[in-house]
A and B are shown apart, each in its own frame.
Chain A
Amino acid sequence: MSKTVISMRGIIKRYYIGKPNELQILNGIDLDVTEGEFLAIVGQSGSGKSTLMNMIGALDRPTEGTYYLNGVDISTLDDTELSRIRNKEIGFVFQTFNLISRTDALKNVEMPMMYAGIPRKERIKRAEELLKIVEMEDRADHQPNELSGGQKQRVAIARAMANKPSILLADEPTGALDSKTGRMIMDLFHKLHKEEGTTIVLITHSPELASECDRIVTISDGSIINDTGVRVNAVD
């Protein structure tokens, strides 16, 4: 039996607590993700999927409920410990790439390793390997403004993989790309999933992209309304 990476029980997130405009975004989410899954979370904008992503990515703590990430209860950690979790366990891929400007591709990929305290030489070696995996090794010394959208996203994926995270958390990774480049990025995710066995959580509003994944979780108004479970013969 595979290891459980994410285990969420009764996750509730409220904003403006105690104020007249108190807002409940997540209404008790239960979610389990096992190692090696390629999971899609789909939902309309405003459904709470971004909030759920922040929760999974340890950027935020739930108001109620428990979230075990690799057996560690995230909901009780302080800022410093959350930083460490984000650094080691989570690899973020954003819709807008979020590379650091005026910093070349290699340095961008190095960055999570720098915060992990990995020595410089080792970092550079690993960053070069990662750029090779995403076929960006010849652009290592290019700054983000010298790269196309697809190239930026590939660097961002390499960066997300830097510390061998438990989860690759991708938030609309193809949203800012044309369909052809978007396809390449999706292919890259499939490659990482198959070849590296990476657990990927893809957040999207596109049913087409979701249908490529092993499992689709649909979220609406802060609740999971449909979970396909792991489908063996997902479209590739």
Chain B
Amino acid sequence: MQLIENIRLAFTSLLANKMRALLTMLGIIIGISAVIMITTIGTSIQKTLSNTFNSIGSFNIFDVILDWEDTASEDDMISREMLDELITKYPEYFSIEMSTDCGQATVRTPKGETVTVAVSGALDIKPALDHLRGRTIQYKDNVNKKNAIYVSDLFISQYFEPGVDPIGQTVNLTFVDNGLSGDFVIVGYDKLPQIYEKQYPPGMKKMEKTSPVCIPCDTYNEMVHQEPEPTYYAQIRYNTDYDIDMQQKLLKEFFEDKYKEKPGFSFLIINEQQYLGMMDTIINVVTIAISVIAAISLIVGGVGVMNIMLVSITERTKEIGIRKALGAQNSAIRMQFVIEAIMICLIGGIIGILMGIVGGLAIGWLAKMLVTEFYSEYAELISITIQPSIPAILVSVFFSILTGVFFGYYPANKAAKMNPIDALRYD
């Protein structure tokens, strides 16, 4: 009923003693800002890690590593047939992340210039996040031995006039290693990854730059009359729409079944995301632990609030007496002082949150600057993301209010229970 009145009253009372109110809030401000700063740093590290991993692209992949005790021949390795069988058996779960080096190739542009490309043979390329036009090389291109090619925007700008739609156009590749050549149809292109851009010396002319392109590896193998090479290491992309542990189990069973006749061989299946998950957990635990320590200062701050409330109530004994004489019920007096304590804590909490965010951002920017300064070659890879922790902010607001209620109740109750006659007589 009198909530707004009480808030107004609390403000008046706080404004009357600005310095005292500020000093009282200091404990709360320090406690909350420390918690917010630490959680901001914690969540920023997590975000940075996951974004960096994402941008490198080693996400949602099982590394399948074959291990053996004595010796192993090529026949014992993971063959293409095995991988083909895997994705035929579980098309909804798995795809193969694999690329082979096909060496460099030269392309003559319609204008008669020559550009060099670095060709890799791919089985199935995960579509890139945002800049993809057309499509990537897919497994079916391998099955059908399609002459498909997937290029970068750098190549597009080298080969085509601006405004030409490159998708569906044919380019002729001449492989440097063996002199073979073939026509390939552009199925899609993407923005050239930063990591390539970094490799070109500054001032290099556009036409001199070698850009990466992808063709289906089986198409290349057929061109050079070569069988796919067996490997002891395969990268299997899983489907995030399904349970990861289940897929990992399926994968393990599949390969163990393949090697059940061959004792001494074993498989290691690693999910890189699990490492990230573990790291997340560690950062979380550390963040929470430090936050709890920081939060202890909240208790100290709360005791300060209680102390000041007791002083304030003694000072205002007469006022309490007058209010009671005018008909204020005990509950109204109690509410007035509890709200005053809450206001101190809440305002302190909000200032603390703002200071914590500013502090966290400042530390983040500092980290970003240091990375750019000392590790400039990786700076583009590490995408530092500074993000305040929203749950921590909400919890802080809640705890500020709670501190106010907890440490304000005793003094407020003391005020409420004053005898009006004694309070009126107080000077």
Q: Which residues of A contact B (CB under 8 A)?
A: 54, 57, 59-60, 79-80, 83-84, 86-88, 92, 94, 98-103, 111-112, 114-117, 159, 163
Contacts and interface: CB of A to CB of B under 8 A. Distances in A.
Contact of A88 (B321, B327, B330): B327
Nearest to A81: B329
A59 B2 contact: no
Given A54-B421, A102-B16, A114-B2, A84 B326 contact: no
Contacts of B329: 79-80, 83-84, 115
Contact of B420 (A59, A87, A114): A59
14 contacts: A60-B421, A83-B324, A83-B327, A83-B330, A86-B326, A86-B327, A92-B326, A94-B424, A98-B321, A111-B326, A115-B326, A115-B327, A116-B327, A163-B327
Given A98-B321, A100-B322, A114-B5, 6 more contacts: A80-B331, A86-B325, A98-B318, A100-B323, A112-B327, A159-B326
Given A54-B421, A101-B319, A114-B2, A92 B325 contact: yes
Interface string B311-345: 00000001101111111111110000000000000
Contacts of B327: 83-84, 86-88, 112, 115-116, 163
Contact of B325 (A57, A79, A80, A84): A57
A116 B326 CA distance: 10
B169 interface: no
A102 B12 contact: yes
Contacts, number: 63
B328 A83 contact: yes
Contacts of A163: 327
Contacts of B2: 114-115, 117
A117 B1 contact: yes
A5 B2 CA distance: 31
A112 B326 CA distance: 5
Interface in B1-52: 1-2, 5, 12-13, 16
Question: Which 8 pairs across A and B sit closest by C-beta, in order of nearness?
Answer: A87-B327, A83-B329, A115-B327, A112-B326, A86-B327, A98-B322, A115-B328, A59-B420
A101 B421 CA distance: 19
Nearest to B15: A102
B330 A80 contact: yes
B426 to A, nearest CB: 11
Contacts of A98: 318, 321-322, 325, 424
A164 to B, nearest CB: 13
Nearest to A89: B327
Contacts of A86: 324-327
Contacts of B420: 59
Interface centre among A80, A100, A103, A163 (most CB of B within 10 A): A100
Contacts of A112: 326-327
A88 B327 CA distance: 8
B330 A59 contact: no
Contacts of B330: 79-80, 83
Contacts of B321: 98
A60 B318 CA distance: 17
A59 B422 CA distance: 10
A59 B421 contact: yes
Nearest to B327: A87
A225 B24 CA distance: 56
Nearest to A102: B16
Contact of A103 (B12, B332, B424): B12
Nearest to B417: A79
Interface centre among A57, A79, A102 (most CB of B within 10 A): A79
A59 B330 CA distance: 13
Nearest to A171: B424
B87 to A, nearest CB: 73
Contacts of A94: 424
Contacts of B421: 54, 59-60
A84 B331 CA distance: 12
A99 B331 CA distance: 21
B92 to A, nearest CB: 65
Contacts of A92: 325-326
A101 B9 CA distance: 12
A94 B420 CA distance: 14
Contacts of A84: 327, 329
A94 B327 CA distance: 15
Interface centre among A83, A86, A94 (most CB of B within 10 A): A83
A1 to B, nearest CB: 30
A77 B12 CA distance: 34
Nearest to A79: B330
A159 to B, nearest CB: 7
A117 B421 CA distance: 24
Contacts of A57: 325
A57 B5 CA distance: 26
A54 B423 CA distance: 13
A116 B16 CA distance: 26
A100 B325 contact: no
Interface centre among A86, A94, A99, A115 (most CB of B within 10 A): A115
Contacts of A88: 327
A92 B323 CA distance: 11
